[in-house]
């Protein structure tokens, strides 16, 4: 039974898993505190927010694009969600409404990004660089560069909630990973997304609606951003307009790449994103435990991303020759 | 000094312990044209890649001018005067013609800046020598396939090379262009240049080569004077057994029309084309490169923008606004540009086979098992040689890639199959297989639109032939009139036209 599964494993798929295991062992040797359940859950919780966005980002990257706007979009959607909760009195209905508004905004923003990329033929990097600036600026403008604070305890409770000790955000992260992994590997849409990213012309000649497939990758990402926006703003029960969800685009892209999805698109893995996100979280955790300055964590993260891509390049080259 | 320019001494090459070239010791004479023939996987490409320094041999060595040389890369080879014209284009699409020709070898002014004028002048000279209509400032991406080939040749002959290696340079060329190429090759030989020439087209080998080397499964079979080796004998030695009739027998098409095209126009390329294909018929499309055959196919498929055109498939009018509608109506297209628009080389075999027909395997989750079974069926039927159904296509030979591409096209169960250069870059055995499949599809009632620049296969395969010239139908041939002479008369405009 396990044999066909093993045969399907390619270096780019298991390298990240190996890295995770090695890192796990190293961390547990470095500090006895690491293996405590609370610490492990903390790591998972910390990585879930940008990780959820990474799940959508994987589709964008597989389809041959990039989305830089996700960080400021998260702040924007989180802020609007809080405004909706406050405006409607903070009860369960207000929270439901906030969810719906957030999802609508996320999908709408994704449609905008995707439409300009596909119909407008503008490079994804530029389009989303633009929307990145737009969403941050709108958030700052609406919030007067200050803090959006929710007046609903219920909303804050939702963000802090957990099931059998596992934080909600972690459950949502894994649940969505399961769903999107199915979407990527078990549906026509997923296959087409890979085809479009692998060779657009072949996809077009194969009667695939290239623009629609690509547009949807941005919509999926927008929806994931909405989920993260609500979860994140409810966890803190507030959103800071200037530094809320800042650098999330970096974390999401890093999780995708470390997980083994090549930036050139054409293929990828959703569970790799989960692994990539956890690797990033574990590295941060270890640096904290070794009391390395928080300011240096970005340096380490940057090096890890570069190293991950470098190793993948080497392994795919070896596999080809 | 001997008359041998190159001597290979027992060279072998292994990839992951698979021996692809086995102990080859041959002499290449100064100033000869040496043909190398063999099926795909016979080791031809590996052999020339060793000569041109791209691969290092696993055993043995190469002597050049009587001295042992250990080439550590194409630059080393270039330094001793070896140039290679590769099978796949090696041009930078975004640069223009002269920039490509002098890439890495730019002419410079004493000041160190690029001497553009000199490079352009030299390019014009080279193109004049090649009788090619290519302007030095044209961008590569705006060129036709044949023009790109000319640029590759110009690039190789620009520097004074002693040994010029050509890997299937004629696959993209029309017979007229091939003649020009042969004239250039003879000129070069006069000047003392030695040429190694690989081709699947035995007629060309016979016409141009002084001697012929046959390889089979990485082994040396023979090296003989071309004049003493009839074509049939060449084929026999390549395959190692009697190669019977390469084209399957023709049969009688049915009466019902499968595809009717009326008044097809594409701006600047196609000027009003009408034709119909009956069920079970193989309709050939012949003509020079640039006659508009591929464009016609693409316009029918809805991939290329049209100005006008009416289509009916199986008697029903279809709009064919996009490829999706064409596929739904029952039309399948095997593209001429296998790697560019036919297959996904980074995709597995089974994922390529089911790419167009994927909705048949979705319910809504993909049924992997069903995909595998269907792929397995094609692998058996077409004798596709692949390490596994999950091997990526980049690991398959050209002939096997083409079979996968064909499987992909017909997995939608089309009524009309358009094949565009179906045997380009494919060896004799795979060719025969492909001809047989296409004929068997026609016998099952499919209408086949058969686009090809190889006259031999148009003549051998087609029940009827439309000859195109400059975006118009110049003439239509059937029966005995399907022969080389007639086709060329129409293709060049000596006969036909309005």
State the maximum Cα–Cα separation within chain B, in Å, rounded to a whole number. Answer: 74
DSSP element (H, E) containing B263:
strand B257-266
Residue in B closest to A4 by C-alpha? B390
Rounded to whole angstroms, the Cα distance separating A70 from A221 reads: 8
Given a cut of 70, the residues of chain B with pLDDT beneath it are 1-2, 16-18, 40-41, 241-245, 497-498
From the list B333, B366, B388, the residue facing A186 with the nearest CB is B366
Residue B198: closest CA among B241, B164, B151: B164
Query: Which ipTM score applies to this complex?
Result: 0.85
Residue in A closest to B393 by C-alpha? A320
State whether A266 and B355 contact (CB < 8 Å). no
Rounded to whole angstroms, the Cα distance separating B389 from B392 reads: 8
Residues of A in contact with B345 (CB under 8 A): 199
Q: What is the pLDDT of residue B78?
A: 83
Per residue in A77-100, pLDDT (tens digit) is 999 999 999 999 989 999 999 999
Task: Return the number of other C-beta atoms located less than 10 Å from residue B26's C-beta.
Answer: 17
Q: What is the pLDDT of residue A320?
A: 45
Relative orientation angle of helices A37-62 and A270-289, to the nearest 10 degrees: 140
Residue in A closest to B394 by C-alpha? A320
Q: Distance of CA B70 to CAs A234, B31, B53, B55, B56, Å?
A: 68, 23, 8, 11, 8
Cβ distance B60 to B257 under 8 Å? no
State whether B365 and A186 contact (CB < 8 Å). yes
Residue in A closest to B371 by C-alpha? A186
Exposed, middle or buried, A199 (CB in 10 Å: 0-12/13-18/19+)?
buried
List the strands of the sheet with B464-469, edge to edge: B331-334, B416-420, B447-451, B282-287, B464-469, B472-478
State whether B326 and A207 contact (CB < 8 Å). yes
DSSP element (H, E) containing B156:
helix B145-158
Task: Return the number of other C-beta atoms located less than 10 Å from residue B160's C-beta.
Answer: 10
Span A54-72, average pLDDT: 97
State whether B365 and A8 contact (CB < 8 Å). no
**Would you state the structure tokens that stand for residue B160, as one six-digit string?**
């004074």
Nearest-Cα distance to chain A for B364, in Å, is 7
Nearest-Cα distance to chain B for A253, in Å, is 22
Q: Map out the domains of chain A with their CATH numbers.
A: 34-316 (1.10.3470)
State whether A198 and B394 contact (CB < 8 Å). no
Residues of A in contact with B333 (CB under 8 A): 205
Cβ distance A111 to A215 under 8 Å? yes
| Interface test with chain B among A4, A202, A209, by most B beta carbons within 10 Å | A202
Q: Is A9 on the interface with B (CB under 8 A)?
A: no
* Pairing of the two strands B282-287 and B464-469: parallel
Residue in A closest to B368 by C-alpha? A186
pLDDT tier at A2, thresholds 50, 70, 90: very low
Rounded to whole angstroms, the Cα distance separating B417 from B438 reads: 9
| Interface test with chain B among A10, A206, A268, A321, by most B beta carbons within 10 Å | A206
HEC letters along B87-126: CCCCCCCCCEHHHHHCCCCCCECCCCCECHHHHHHHHHHH
DSSP element (H, E) containing B12:
strand B4-15
Q: What is the pLDDT of residue B149?
A: 80
Q: Distance of CA B54 to CAs B46, B47, B49, B167, B261, Å?
A: 9, 10, 5, 14, 48
pLDDT surpassing 90 at residue A257? yes
DSSP-based three-state secondary structure for A289: helix
Residues of B in contact with A192 (CB under 8 A): 358
Rounded to whole angstroms, the Cα distance separating B2 from B15 reads: 33
State whether A202 and B323 contact (CB < 8 Å). no
Buried b (16+ CB within 10 A) or exposed e, B105-114: eeeeeeeeee
Strand partners, B166: B85, B197
| Interface test with chain A among B344, B404, B419, B420, by most A beta carbons within 10 Å | B344
Q: What is the pLDDT of residue A46?
A: 94
Cβ distance B37 to B211 under 8 Å? no
Dihedral (CA of B236, B238, B240, B246) sign: negative
From the list B303, B341, B362, the residue facing A188 with the nearest CB is B362
From the list A7, A191, A201, the residue facing B351 with the nearest CB is A191
From the list A202, A266, A267, the residue facing B343 with the nearest CB is A202
DSSP-based three-state secondary structure for A53: helix
pLDDT surpassing 50 at residue A254? yes
Cα distance from N-terminal residue to C-terminal residue, chain B: 63
C-alpha dihedral, B476 to B477 to B478 to B481, nearest 10°: 160
pLDDT tier at A9, thresholds 50, 70, 90: low
Rounded to whole angstroms, the Cα distance separating B4 from B417 reads: 50
Q: Map out the domains of chain B with their CATH numbers.
A: 4-239 (3.40.50.300), 257-330+414-491 (3.40.50.300)
State whether B347 and A198 contact (CB < 8 Å). yes
Q: What is the pLDDT of residue B17?
A: 62
State whether A195 and B342 contact (CB < 8 Å). no
**Would you state the structure tokens that stand for residue A243, as one six-digit string?**
């530094």
Q: List strand residue ranges (DSSP E) for chain A, in order.
A: 147-149, 162-163, 166-167, 238-240
Radius of gyration over alpha carbons of chain A, in Å? 20
Q: What is the pLDDT of residue B498?
A: 53
Q: What is the pLDDT of residue A319?
A: 47
Mean pLDDT computed over every residue of chain A: 91
pLDDT tier at A251, thresholds 50, 70, 90: very high
- Residue A154: partners with Cβ closer than 8 Å, 6 or more residues away: A90, A91, A92, A95
* Pairing of the two strands B331-334 and B33-37: unpaired
Q: What is the pLDDT of residue A321?
A: 40
Span A276-305, average pLDDT: 89
- Residue A275: partners with Cβ closer than 8 Å, 6 or more residues away: A16, A17, A20, A258, A259
Nearest-Cα distance to chain A for B16, in Å, is 9
Nearest-Cα distance to chain B for A225, in Å, is 26
Upper half-sphere CA count for residue B135 (Cβ side, 13 Å): 5
Q: What is the pLDDT of residue B18?
A: 67
From the list A201, A206, A209, the residue facing B356 with the nearest CB is A206
Rounded to whole angstroms, the Cα distance separating B284 from B458 reads: 6
Nearest-Cα distance to chain A for B3, in Å, is 37
Rounded to whole angstroms, the Cα distance separating B350 from A11 reads: 20
Q: Is A182 on the interface with B (CB under 8 A)?
A: yes
Q: What is the pLDDT of residue A4?
A: 45
State whether A187 and B359 contact (CB < 8 Å). no
Rounded to whole angstroms, the Cα distance separating A296 from B401 reads: 50
Residue B272 CA to chain centroid, in angstroms?
A: 29
> Is omega for the bond preceding B444 within 30 degrees of 0, making it cis?
no
Q: Is A201 on the interface with B (CB under 8 A)?
A: yes
Percent helix, percent strand, percent coil in chain B, to nearest 5: 35, 25, 35
HEC letters along B52-82: CCCCCCCEEEEEECCEEECCCCHHHHHHCCE
Cβ distance B180 to B212 under 8 Å? no
* Pairing of the two strands B211-216 and B447-451: unpaired
Residue in B closest to A316 by C-alpha? B346
From the list A202, A209, A321, the residue facing B344 with the nearest CB is A202
From the list A182, A207, A320, the residue facing B323 with the nearest CB is A207
Q: Which residue has the higher pLDDT, B236 or A164?
A: A164
Residues of B in contact with A7 (CB under 8 A): 388, 390
List the strands of the sheet with B308-313, edge to edge: B270-278, B257-266, B308-313, B316-318
Residue A126 φ/ψ, nearest 5 degrees: -70, -45
* Pairing of the two strands B331-334 and B416-420: parallel
State whether B324 and A209 contact (CB < 8 Å). yes
Q: Is A147 on the interface with B (CB under 8 A)?
A: no
State whether B323 and A206 contact (CB < 8 Å). yes
State whether A191 and B343 contact (CB < 8 Å). no
Residues of A in contact with B348 (CB under 8 A): none
Alpha helices in B170-242 (DSSP H): 175-190, 202-208, 231-239
Residue B450: closest CA among B208, B284, B303, B291: B284
Residues of A in contact with B394 (CB under 8 A): 320
DSSP A235: H
Q: What is the pLDDT of residue B85?
A: 86
Span A27-43, average pLDDT: 91
DSSP-based three-state secondary structure for B482: coil
Residue B331: closest CA among B498, B224, B441, B449: B449
pLDDT tier at A1, thresholds 50, 70, 90: very low
Percent helix, percent strand, percent coil in chain A, to nearest 5: 80, 5, 20
Cβ distance A141 to A20 under 8 Å? no
Cβ distance B159 to B191 under 8 Å? no
**Would you state the structure tokens that stand for residue B203, as one six-digit string?**
């007629």
From the list B15, B324, B344, the residue facing A207 with the nearest CB is B324
**Would you state the structure tokens that stand for residue B43, as one six-digit string?**
């080791």
Residue B366 φ/ψ, nearest 5 degrees: -70, 135
Please tell me the pTM assigned to this model. Answer: 0.78
Rounded to whole angstroms, the Cα distance separating B97 from B113 reads: 19
- Residue B75: partners with Cβ closer than 8 Å, 6 or more residues away: B53
């Amino acid at each position: 039974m396990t044999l066909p599964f093993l045969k399907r494993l390619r270096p780019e798929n298991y390298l990240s898993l190996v890295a995770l295991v090695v890192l796990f062992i190293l961390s547990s040797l470095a500090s006895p505190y690491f293996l405590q359940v609370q610490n492990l859950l903390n790591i998972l919780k910390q990585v879930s927010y940008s990780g959820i966005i990474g799940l959508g980002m994987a589709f964008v990257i597989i389809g041959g694009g990039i989305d830089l706007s996700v960080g400021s979009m998260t702040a924007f959607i989180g802020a609007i969600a809080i405004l909706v909760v406050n405006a409607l009195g903070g009860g369960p209905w207000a929270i439901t409404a906030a969810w719906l508004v957030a999802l609508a905004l996320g999908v709408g923003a994704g449609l905008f990004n995707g439409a300009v990329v596909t119909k407008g033929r503008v490079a994804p990097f530029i389009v989303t660089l633009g929307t990145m600036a737009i969403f941050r600026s709108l958030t700052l403008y609406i919030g007067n560069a200050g803090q959006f604070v929710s007046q609903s305890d219920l909303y804050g409770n939702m963000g802090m909630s957990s099931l059998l000790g596992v934080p909600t955000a972690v459950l949502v992260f894994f649940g969505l990973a399961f769903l999107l992994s199915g979407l990527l590997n078990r549906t026509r849409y997923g296959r087409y997304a890979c085809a479009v990213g692998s060779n657009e012309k072949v996809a077009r000649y194969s009667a695939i609606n290239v623009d629609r497939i690509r547009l949807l990758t941005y919509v999926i990402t927008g929806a994931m951003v909405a989920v993260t926006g609500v979860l994140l703003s409810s966890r803190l029960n507030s959103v800071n307009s200037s530094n809320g969800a800042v650098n999330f685009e970096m974390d999401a892209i890093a999780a995708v790449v470390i997980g083994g999805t090549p930036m050139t698109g054409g293929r990828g893995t959703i569970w790799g994103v989960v692994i990539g996100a956890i690797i990033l979280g574990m590295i941060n955790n270890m640096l904290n435990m070794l009391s390395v300055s928080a300011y240096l964590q970005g340096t380490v993260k940057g090096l890890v991303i570069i190293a991950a891509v470098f190793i993948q390049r080497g392994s795919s080259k070896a596999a080809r020759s | 000094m001997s008359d041998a320019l190159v001597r290979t001494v027992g060279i072998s090459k292994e990839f992951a312990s698979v021996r692809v070239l086995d102990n080859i010791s041959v002499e290449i004479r100064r100033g000869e044209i040496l043909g190398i023939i063999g099926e795909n996987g016979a080791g031809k490409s590996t052999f020339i890649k060793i000569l041109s320094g791209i691969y290092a041999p696993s055993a043995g060595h190469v002597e050049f001018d009587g001295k042992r040389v250990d080439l550590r890369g194409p630059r080393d080879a270039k330094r001793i005067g070896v140039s290679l014209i590769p099978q796949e284009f090696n041009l930078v699409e975004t640069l223009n013609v002269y920039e490509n020709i002098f890439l890495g070898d730019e002419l410079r002014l004493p000041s160190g800046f690029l001497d553009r004028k000199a490079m352009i002048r030299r390019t014009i000279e080279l193109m004049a020598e090649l009788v090619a209509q290519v302007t030095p400032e044209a961008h590569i991406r705006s060129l036709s396939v044949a023009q790109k080939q000319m640029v590759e040749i110009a690039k190789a002959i620009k520097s004074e090379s002693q040994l010029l290696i050509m890997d299937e340079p004629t696959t993209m060329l029309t017979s007229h262009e091939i003649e020009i190429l042969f004239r250039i090759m003879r000129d070069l030989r006069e000047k003392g240049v030695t040429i190694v020439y690989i081709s699947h087209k035995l007629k060309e080998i016979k016409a141009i080569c002084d001697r012929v080397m046959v390889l089979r499964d990485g082994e040396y079979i023979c090296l003989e004077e071309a004049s003493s080796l009839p074509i049939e004998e060449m084929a026999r030695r390549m395959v190692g057994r009697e190669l019977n009739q390469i084209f399957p027998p023709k049969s009688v098409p049915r009466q019902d029309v499968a595809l009717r095209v009326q008044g097809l126009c594409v701006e600047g390329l196609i000027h009003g084309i009408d034709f119909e294909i009956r069920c079970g018929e193989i309709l050939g499309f012949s003509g020079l490169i640039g006659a508009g055959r591929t464009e016609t196919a693409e316009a029918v498929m809805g991939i290329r923008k049209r100005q006008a055109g009416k289509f009916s498939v199986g008697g029903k009018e279809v709009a064919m606004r996009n490829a999706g509608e064409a596929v739904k109506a029952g039309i399948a297209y095997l593209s001429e540009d296998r790697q560019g628009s036919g297959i996904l080389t980074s995709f597995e075999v089974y994922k390529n086979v089911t790419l167009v027909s994927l909705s048949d395997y979705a319910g809504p989750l993909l049924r992997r098992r069903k995909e595998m079974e269907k792929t397995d069926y094609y692998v058996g039927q077409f004798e596709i040689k692949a390490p596994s159904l999950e091997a990526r296509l980049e690991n398959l030979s050209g002939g096997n890639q083409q079979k996968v591409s064909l499987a992909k096209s017909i997995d939608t169960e089309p009524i009309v199959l358009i094949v565009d250069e179906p045997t380009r870059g494919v060896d004799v055995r795979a060719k025969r297989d492909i001809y047989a499949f296409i004929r068997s599809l026609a016998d099952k009632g499919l209408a086949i639109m058969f686009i090809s620049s190889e006259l031999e296969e148009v003549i051998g395969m087609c029940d009827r032939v439309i000859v195109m010239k400059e975006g118009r139908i110049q003439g239509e041939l059937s029966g005995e009139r399907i022969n080389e002479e007639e086709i060329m008369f129409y293709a060049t405009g000596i006969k036909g036209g309005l």
